């Protein structure tokens, strides 16, 4: 088996006969039938050949999304070969044990920096991490030592987008999603500002604040998620979305701090911020969750929430840059 054979297996289901053959070849036992939500992924290592294989289900690539639950229990999922570590330098800098034919037509762990630049079609750029597509679903990522004198690690991995809001945020039946109206309204805001990467004809029909219509739109055009590739190429917008997706605080000039978490913004518009804080301080999390589930904005409040997102984005652009340590 060669590196090109492994490339052809990237993204294959763990139940694919070719994966069974892979496991037999490298003496890895039996491949996993599924991976559960608690595990997230399963890894296997062939120490003799210095190879590691990872299977997972939650892959932010539309070729493998959404994850498939064979028993429809939303716990056990079909898994795919998502990563193969082709080489990893150990402390003793042990030579790679794989035969030369394994690497034929590919970059070899003993390659020089100049060899790497040629393979990746790059000029000297000062970077220690290089990457290159090797198929329509996979890429190779290579790490160099600090002085670029040698390759320290090499991995095949599936191409993935950066997930900002997941399918769980748009799940209308999950008890964990306590503010089901907020995320579809965010889609409305992105649409109204033409921040979504959509065909022009989709923008010709306006979106209302009707919840069912927004849920349907999100499923049809966004596959119930928001990834970085689904919004326009605006670093400030992407950074803003990542911030509001989680409980985040920004600092404005004058050292004023504001929480811009989308849930916080929604609860404020609903007029229940103080009540929620009281329950959080003196009640139980069940009380907090029950309050959040009871909230529902009317049409006027929906418009206020949309304007709040606009105003918050404007404030976000004025933020004091975070210090990186």
Among the candidates 116, 135, 158, a domain finishes at 158
**Has residue 27 been placed in a domain?**
yes
pLDDT tens column, 133-191: 999 999 999 999 999 999 999 999 999 999 999 999 999 998 889 999 999 999 999 99
Asked if 110 and 242 sit in the same domain, the reply is no
Among the candidates 158, 190, 218, a domain finishes at 158
**What pLDDT is recorded for position 84?**
98
d(CA 246, CA 164): 9
**Has residue 261 been placed in a domain?**
yes
**Has residue 323 been placed in a domain?**
no
**Has residue 236 been placed in a domain?**
yes
282: number of Cβ within 10 Å: 8
208: number of Cβ within 10 Å: 12
Share of the chain above pLDDT 90, in %: 94
Q: Would you call the peptide bond into 75 cis, given omega within 30 degrees of 0 as the criterion?
A: no
**Has residue 325 been placed in a domain?**
no
pLDDT tens column, 218-240: 999 999 999 999 999 999 999 99
Asked if 82 and 184 sit in the same domain, the reply is no
**Has residue 220 been placed in a domain?**
yes
In the numeric block, which tokens belong to residue 196?
């979504």
C-alpha 123, offset from chain centre = 30
Q: Are 9 and 135 a contacting pair, CB within 8 Å?
A: no
67: number of Cβ within 10 Å: 18
pLDDT tens column, 38-92: 999 999 999 999 999 999 999 999 999 999 999 999 899 999 999 999 999 998 8
* Per-residue pLDDT at 323 exceeds 80: no
Structural domains in the chain (count): 2
Q: What is the mean pLDDT of the chain?
A: 96
pLDDT tens column, 302-319: 999 999 999 999 999 999
Residue 217: exposed, middle, or buried by beta-carbon count in 10 A (0-12, 13-18, 19+)? buried
**What pLDDT is recorded for position 126?**
80
**What pLDDT is recorded for position 325?**
46
Residue 90 to residues 50, 62, 152, Cα–Cα distance (Å): 10, 35, 8
DSSP sequence for 82-129: EEEEEEE--TT-PPP-S-GGGGTTS--TT--HHHHHHHTT------SE
Asked if 281 and 309 sit in the same domain, the reply is yes
**Has residue 322 been placed in a domain?**
no
Asked if 153 and 8 sit in the same domain, the reply is yes
**What pLDDT is recorded for position 124?**
81
Among the candidates 104, 124, 158, a domain finishes at 158
Asked if 209 and 195 sit in the same domain, the reply is yes
Residue-range definition of the domain harbouring residue 285: 163-316
Asked if 35 and 175 sit in the same domain, the reply is no
- Mean pLDDT over 202-215 rounds to 97
Asked if 169 and 311 sit in the same domain, the reply is yes
Q: Which helix (H) or strand (E) holds 275?
A: helix 273-282
Asked if 136 and 177 sit in the same domain, the reply is no
d(CA 194, CA 24): 51
**Has residue 324 been placed in a domain?**
no
- Mean pLDDT over 231-255 rounds to 95
> Residue 324 — pLDDT band, cuts 50, 70, 90?
low
Share of the chain above pLDDT 70, in %: 99
What's the start-to-end Cα distance of the chain, in Å? 44
Asked if 36 and 84 sit in the same domain, the reply is yes
Asked if 101 and 223 sit in the same domain, the reply is no
* Per-residue pLDDT at 250 exceeds 50: yes
> Residue 208 — pLDDT band, cuts 50, 70, 90?
very high
Q: For the whole model, what pTM was predicted?
A: 0.86
Asked if 145 and 170 sit in the same domain, the reply is no
Q: Is the dihedral of CA 141, 142, 146, 148 positive or negative?
A: negative
- Mean pLDDT over 121-128 rounds to 87
Asked if 177 and 132 sit in the same domain, the reply is no
d(CA 312, CA 147): 44
């Amino acid at each position: 088996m060669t590196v090109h054979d492994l490339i052809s297996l990237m993204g294959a289901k763990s139940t694919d006969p070719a994966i069974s053959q892979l496991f037999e070849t490298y003496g890895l036992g039996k491949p996993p039938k599924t991976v559960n939500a608690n595990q997230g992924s399963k890894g296997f290592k062939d120490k003799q050949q210095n190879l590691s294989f990872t299977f997972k289900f939650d892959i932010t690539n539309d070729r493998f999304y959404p994850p498939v639950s064979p028993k429809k229990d939303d716990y056990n999922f079909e898994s795919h070969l998502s990563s193969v570590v082709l080489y990893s330098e150990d402390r003793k800098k042990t030579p790679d044990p794989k035969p030369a034919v394994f690497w034929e037509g590919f970059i070899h762990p003993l390659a020089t920096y100049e060899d790497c630049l040629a393979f990746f079609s790059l000029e000297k750029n000062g970077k220690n991490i290089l990457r290159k597509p090797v198929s329509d679903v996979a890429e190779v990522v290579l790490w160099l030592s600090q002085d670029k004198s040698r390759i320290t690690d090499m991995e095949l991995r599936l191409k993935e987008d950066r997930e900002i809001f997941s399918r769980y945020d748009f799940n209308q039946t999950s008890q964990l999603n306590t503010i089901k109206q907020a995320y579809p309204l965010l889609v409305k805001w992105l649409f109204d500002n033409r921040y979504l990467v959509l065909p022009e004809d989709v923008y010709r029909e306006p979106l209302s604040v009707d919840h069912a219509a927004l849920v349907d739109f999100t499923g049809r055009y966004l596959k119930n998620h928001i990834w970085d590739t689904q919004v326009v190429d605006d670093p400030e917008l992407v950074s803003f979305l990542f911030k509001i997706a989680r409980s985040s605080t920004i600092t404005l000039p004058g050292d004023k701090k504001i929480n811009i978490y989308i849930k916080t913004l929604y609860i404020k518009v609903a007029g229940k911020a103080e009540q929620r804080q009281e329950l959080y301080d003196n009640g139980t999390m069940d009380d907090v969750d029950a309050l959040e589930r009871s909230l529902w904005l009317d049409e006027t409040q929906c418009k206020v929430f949309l304007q709040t997102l606009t105003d918050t984005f404007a404030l976000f652009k004025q933020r004091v840059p975070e210090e990186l340590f």
